[in-house]
A and B are shown apart, each in its own frame.
Chain A
Amino acid sequence: MSFSDGLHHGAGMRLAPRPMAFLHYGLTAGVTARQPRDRLSGLSQGGTPDDLACLRALGRGETSLWHEGVSARLDATRPDALAQLLQGVAPPLLRGAGPQGRGFGPAA
């Protein structure tokens, strides 16, 4: 089993046909507060570079990300919560990439 591009891709593995989801809580008041301090200290920030790029785009923490018509509310305790999030998401493997195919096939 090997990985590439961080953990985004891999080879030598038998991939499950259905993906799962991470509820990602990277954009928080805490990250907003930490950002100037960590930048001054020269250390990396508490958030990932992606999170921090978003926060820089947002400016200060008063901004709301909720947009009517764009946003939705999730009840993570509902049995169909995963289906709600992954609606329309394609299976992980592209068409023609069978279990014996290159990439996600079994390790040699």
Chain B
Amino acid sequence: MLCDDRTFYPGSASGILMAHLDGTGQMAAIHAARDTRKLLPPRLWPMTERVLLVAKSNMLEMLNPAGARAKLETAEVICVGAFRNRRALVPHYLAHYRDLGVDLFLVADNLSDDGTREYLLDQPDVLVFSCSSDDPMPRGQTMWKRALLDHFCPGRRVVLADAEEFLLTPRQGAGALRAACRELDAAGQDAALVHRVDMYPLGPLAEADFDLVPPQVAAPAHDRVPLRPWPLTAGPFGQVADHVRALPHRLLPLAAPQRFLSQKIAWSGSTR
């Protein structure tokens, strides 16, 4: 049986006899692991999905070398995100969250082809997981983040932030997120809502080139009233005060009035 991109390497556990590899770099490691009874490469699935080795199964494959997961044991604050082709933003994103106190990043990479994946793999504090197939819909990206949360983060302090989302904490400065986590833990809270505020440049949109200028400098403007309450819905549990983002509704005035919800549960603490 031949291994393809969505099955496992040859070995006694997989029953695969032959694999096509794009190079020879992995050959020795794959040979050495043939009789270890381990299914390699490491793959994981969302807990709510069926385990299928097919496209669109929301399966993730860990790309870092064996042993990299040891970083999970010592990380105090973890950041989880799903990226696709965000090469210009990623250095700023990592710097922002490192400064806030994040120790480790878990990234589901949605088949980036602009160098994002390679850049992430060069970082000492990033674990990269490749999606098995491209998914243009937000549902897939949510499923990947859920999979990373469920497998690696129970009882951990986690921020869920995609590449374009830069968290603003109640206090500023180095380690501010760590301090906020401790305060929320001490108060017995295990989650927080985070509202998305759309930022844009003072001039033409084309000037917001994050290859040249950090996003905080290139895009410092926002709508004066960036969020609006939407009182007619409160989510499936009927408890949360829904808000919508002002900018997309300004740009798309005929959109359904609650289409662009601003809030997401983007922080969870260690008490859950």
Q: Which residues of A contact B (CB under 8 A)?
A: 1, 3-11, 13-30, 32, 34, 38, 43-51, 53-54, 57-58, 61-66, 69-79, 81-82, 85-86, 88-94, 97, 101-104, 107
A-chain residues with CB within 8 Å of residue B251 when the two chains form the complex: 54, 57-58, 65
Establish whether residues B235 and A9, one from each chain, have CB atoms under 8 Å apart when the complex forms.
yes
B-chain residues with CB within 8 Å of residue A6 when the two chains form the complex: 138-139, 142, 264
Establish whether residues A9 and B84, one from each chain, have CB atoms under 8 Å apart when the complex forms.
no
User: Contact residue range for chain B?
Assistant: 35 or more
Establish whether residues B208 and A10, one from each chain, have CB atoms under 8 Å apart when the complex forms.
no
Interface: B167 (CB within 8 A): yes
Establish whether residues A30 and B252, one from each chain, have CB atoms under 8 Å apart when the complex forms.
no
The 6 closest A-B CB pairs, nearest first, are A44-B136, A103-B237, A103-B239, A9-B235, A46-B85, A61-B206
Establish whether residues B241 and A90, one from each chain, have CB atoms under 8 Å apart when the complex forms.
yes
Establish whether residues B222 and A74, one from each chain, have CB atoms under 8 Å apart when the complex forms.
yes
Establish whether residues A10 and B165, one from each chain, have CB atoms under 8 Å apart when the complex forms.
no
How far does the Cβ of A4 sit from chain B's closest Cβ, in whole Å? 5
Find the A residue at minimum CB distance from B168.
A21
How far is it, in angstroms, between the C-alpha of A21 and the C-alpha of B272 when the chains are bound? Answer: 22
Establish whether residues B216 and A23, one from each chain, have CB atoms under 8 Å apart when the complex forms.
yes
B-chain residues with CB within 8 Å of residue A1 when the two chains form the complex: 190-191, 268, 272
Find the B residue at minimum CB distance from A106.
B190
Q: Which residues of B contact A (CB under 8 A)?
A: 84-86, 88-89, 110-111, 114, 134-139, 142, 145-146, 160-162, 164-172, 180, 184, 187-211, 215-216, 219-227, 229, 234-243, 247-248, 250-252, 255, 260-261, 263-268, 271-272
8 Å CB contact of B204 from A61, A92, A104 = A61
How far does the Cβ of B7 sit from chain A's closest Cβ, in whole Å? 23
How far is it, in angstroms, between the C-alpha of A102 and the C-alpha of B239 when the chains are bound? Answer: 7
Known A-B contacts A8-B235, A43-B136; A22 and B196 likewise in contact (beta carbons under 8 Å) = yes
Establish whether residues B237 and A11, one from each chain, have CB atoms under 8 Å apart when the complex forms.
yes
A-chain residues with CB within 8 Å of residue B197 when the two chains form the complex: 21-24, 85
8 Å CB contact of B138 from A49, A77, A81, A88 = A49
Establish whether residues A20 and B169, one from each chain, have CB atoms under 8 Å apart when the complex forms.
yes
